[in-house]
A = this chain, B = another copy of it.
Amino acid sequence: MEKLNQQLDFILEIDKLKHVYRQSLVKSDNNRFENSAEHSWHISLTAQILHEHAVEPVNISRVTSMLLIHDIVEIDAGDMFAFSNEKALVEQEEKELAAANRIFSLLPESQHQTFKQLWLEFEQSETSDARFAKAIDCILPLLQNMRNEGGSWVNHKVRKSQVIKRNKHLEGLAPKLWLYVCKQIEHAVQQGWLIDE
């Protein structure tokens, strides 16, 4: 039963991700802030729907697992807005690594290593699976903001160049998605949802 108890401790610990709030707004729920648990669900399923657009083949099962766990570290480290300054983002990386060490170590040893490696692979973004997972993690907030009159972009006065930089890796990974994103960014600028610089 020891192994099962470790697994159940992990399962109950990650309940806390439902209490980590992001800058994204949930249009369908009176524009409240989105939490990282429901965001993780949404991007996992988004990856399942869109993976055919990846130029390099991806293992969608691994991508899904990555996306299910990618934000768990925020239980300790909190969420960091994607367009925060560089210094804050570097500090966040250190906090997240410490969080990964603590939270995944709740699991039995073999699962601890498997899930931590998968999380590191996502963070390092060097494999085709991780690059695609990261791209999906970037594109979904864009889709949400476009359906919500700019959403978190407007609240944080985000610039067009920041959104292009954040999504540009799509150009090589999934050209059809990149084309779509470019059109959306232009439309957002025209609407005044992104600053034109």
Which A residues have a C-beta under 8 Å from some C-beta of B?
Answer: 1, 4, 7-8, 10-12, 14-19, 26-29, 34-35, 37-38, 40-42, 44-46, 48-50, 53, 60-61, 64-65, 68-69, 107, 111, 140, 143-144, 147, 176-177, 180
Contact = CB atoms under 8 A, between A and B. Distances in A.
Contacts of A45: 11, 14, 68-69
A72 to B, nearest CB: 9
A68 B41 contact: yes
B107 A49 contact: yes
A44 B68 contact: yes
How many copies the complex holds: the figure is: 2
6 contacts: A4-B176, A12-B147, A38-B38, A48-B68, A49-B111, A61-B61
Given A44-B41, A50-B7, A68-B48, A28 B34 contact: no
A27 to B, nearest CB: 7
